[in-house]
Amino acid sequence: MTLQRRSGVGRFLRLTLIVAALLLPASVPFDRTISQALVGWRPAGVEALAQLATRLGDGTLTIGLPCVVGLFWVWRRDRGRGARWLLAGASVAGAGLLELLVKEITCRGRPTAADAGAFFSRFPCDPMDYAHASFPSGHATTAFALAALLALWHPRWAAAWLALAGLVGLSRVVLGAHFPSDVLAGAALGVGVALIVHAKVPRIRRDEPEGCERLSS
């Protein structure tokens, strides 16, 4: 049953990746309208929640947490789990590096920039400044990379992991830090990296027998 769930999550993530890639070009023209609507509707409680959600996508947490968990398991002499979590941290970091590379190329103005939404506004974008580091969203990239790996490891909780990553992405738009297409691109990049690593690196897969799966779920 667990293997069937994991296979189902993998198919869902691949389908999501395809849909995101198809929607991305069509979403760009609506970026300003959606962003202004979400930023305009921002009561104090929602803003506080968005601030909390956005911290969940910070690289310190999305990269650091898997590494800390991995080192814990290495210390406990469970090298299988340790290697898996450390590889997860490295995968999320790799997704973050790819996101930075794309930002250097696209050089898109953030919603708060004078040239908001414009691509290649300072090409080459070196050195990259905050105002022109909009596409894709780094928080969405790392949050979805980690969420996709956790969903593949623990398919029973897949909806929860992905929902948390979705909240991180939404918070970036609500706080006026990114456009919706930035978040969509970051989510696609993070999920794509997670799927490739999970498919190509056997040691990152969670393939315990069914009994162990029940005990650890």
Predicted confidence (pLDDT) per residue in 14-23, tens digit: 999 999 999 9
Average pLDDT, the chain: 89
Residue 176 Cα distances to 41, 76, 170, 216, angstroms: 11, 43, 10, 39
Predicted confidence (pLDDT) per residue in 84-113, tens digit: 999 999 999 999 999 999 999 999 999 999
* Residue 213, pLDDT score: 44
* Residue 177, pLDDT score: 94
Q: Give the predicted TM-score (pTM) of the model.
A: 0.90
Residue 213 lies in a domain: no
Residue 215 lies in a domain: no
Residue 145 lies in a domain: yes
DSSP 16: H
Predicted confidence (pLDDT) per residue in 170-196, tens digit: 999 999 999 999 999 999 999 999 999
Query: What confidence category does residue 72 fall into, taking pLDDT thresholds of 50, 70 and 90?
Result: very high
CATH value at residue 106: 1.20.144
Residue 39 lies in a domain: no
Distance, CA of 177 to CA of 35 (rounded, Å): 10
Residue 136 lies in a domain: yes
Distance, CA of 102 to CA of 142 (rounded, Å): 14
Residue 30 lies in a domain: no
Query: What confidence category does residue 210 fall into, taking pLDDT thresholds of 50, 70 and 90?
Result: very low
Residue 9 lies in a domain: yes
Residue 172 lies in a domain: yes
Domain count, the chain: 1
- Residue 100: give the domain boundaries: 2-23+45-207
Calculate mean pLDDT across residues 34-43: 85
Burial class (CB in 10 A: 0-12, 13-18, 19+), 101: exposed
Whether the per-residue pLDDT at 215 is higher than 50: the answer is no
Q: Which amino acid does the sequence have at 77?
A: R
3-state secondary structure of 129: coil
Predicted confidence (pLDDT) per residue in 142-173, tens digit: 999 999 999 999 899 999 999 999 999 999 99
Measured at the CA of 125, the angle between CA 184 and CA 187, to 5 degrees, comes to: 15
